[in-house]
Amino acid sequence: MPCTTILAGKKATADGSTLIARNEDYGHAFNPKRFIVVMPDKQPKDYQSVTSKCKVDLPGNPMRYTAVPELESTMKTMGWWGEAGINAANVAMSATETSTTNSRVLGVDPMNKKGIGEELQMKLQKANDQTAKAAYDAAMKCFGDCVETGALQIKLNY
């Protein structure tokens, strides 16, 4: 069962709700998650990836957003993996669609050991995107053609 996401915007639901449904297929079992609200004053200024050697400065002036990261007990070994959420501007995002467990993708597009991986996508974008278009434009600028081509490994070096 692959990671699957269903997003329904407020114009697509009868009562104007924004809905996100998501499952995860990481490794050999389902991993317990937690739903959190990340407040602007609690967001770090930088992040050191657990899954790569990448350390990035996070954008300033972050918004409140929701996320579904790993449990605190597994974050030290697995990383943050925010996975899905909605920010204060009502921009929804799902990320981490499993490049790291697909050996065929890795055979064609091997990981850059210092690059930004799936673990970091939500932290980089969710706190600052004002519109879906802005989120797409930021992803294209930051992640390049992987968004267009479906190649999921991000190839930036910091």
Residues with a known catalytic role = 3
Of 88, 95, 44, whose CA–CA distance to 68 is shortest?
95
Residues 94, 80: contact at Cβ < 8 Å? no
State the Cα–Cα distance between residues 149 and 108, nearest whole angstrom. Answer: 13
In this structure, the dihedral spanned by the alpha carbons of residues 7, 13, 17 and 22, taken in order and rounded to 10 degrees, is: -20
In this structure, the dihedral spanned by the alpha carbons of residues 112, 144, 65 and 11, taken in order and rounded to 10 degrees, is: -140
